[in-house]
Amino acid sequence: MPMIAPKGVAISTRQHGWLIATSLLIALACNLLPWQVDLLWLRPDFLLLVTLYWAIYQPNDIGIGSAWWLGLMEDMADGAHLGQHALAYAVAVYAITFFQRRLYNFPPWQQILPIMATLLIEQLMTVVIATFVGDSRQVLLYFSAVLTGTLCWIPIWYLLRIQHGPARPRQQ
């Protein structure tokens, strides 16, 4: 009897390296777009959304480690404390790995709630870290980005799915 028997649907391990890298770079660029100061609160974290997409569909390429490095890039782009978003991204992807198998088979509209919960976890982590470092201001407003981020999930999902190749055979 084999010790490790594969369970469930086999996850595609095709190489998508260039696509993953390009989409992540574009997402980071979107985070750097000029926004009006008053609307800045609503800016969704595109990099995190794309990272979560790949964590669901290419878990062998984007895991906790890569998420940590991507978060570090966001820290540098944002001028935040180094490590703040890095840790939050790692925790978010860790949360996603628990439901990765299920999310993989969900249609995008069913993924919305877990994605929203994950975005919430990420924002909470950032706020907690910022509080530890000694900041505290306007916390509630900050969470408005969770809602806009959730709204962006479906468009991003379809955009990446088009690039990602033909749809998987859907389980009945």
Partner 1 sequence: MATHSHQDLFPHGLSAGAKLLVYLLLSIVLITIDARFRVLKPVRAAASIAVFSLQETVQKPWLIWRKMDAFFTRQSQLLHDNQNLHQQSVLWHLSQQRVNHLEQENQRLRALLALQQQHTLQSHAAEIIGVPRDPYERKITVDQGSQQGIQAGSAVIDEAGLIGQVTRVYPLTSEITLMTDKDQSVPIQINRTGERAILFGDGSNHGATLRYLPNNTDIRVGDLLVTSGLDGFYPAGLPVATVTHVDFASNRAFALVVCQTLGAVDRNRHVLILNTAKNSGHTH
Contacting residues toward partner 1, per CB under 8 A = 2-4, 28-38, 40-41, 43, 63-65, 68, 76-84, 86-87, 90-91, 94, 97, 126, 129-130, 132-139, 141-142, 145
- Considering the complex, what minimum distance in angstroms separates the CB of residue 34 from partner 1? 6
- Considering the complex, what minimum distance in angstroms separates the CB of residue 68 from partner 1? 5
State the Cα–Cα distance between residues 59 and 53, nearest whole angstrom: 9
Q: How far are the Cα atoms of 24, 26, 147 from residue 107, in angstroms, in the given order?
A: 22, 24, 19
- Considering the complex, what minimum distance in angstroms separates the CB of residue 8 from partner 1? 15
Judged by CB, which is closer to partner 1: 123, or 164?
123
Judged by CB, which is closer to partner 1: 93, or 115?
93
Burial, 161: exposed, middle or buried (Cβ in 10 Å; 0-12, 13-18, 19+)? middle
Judged by CB, which is closer to partner 1: 94, or 106?
94
Judged by CB, which is closer to partner 1: 1, or 167?
1
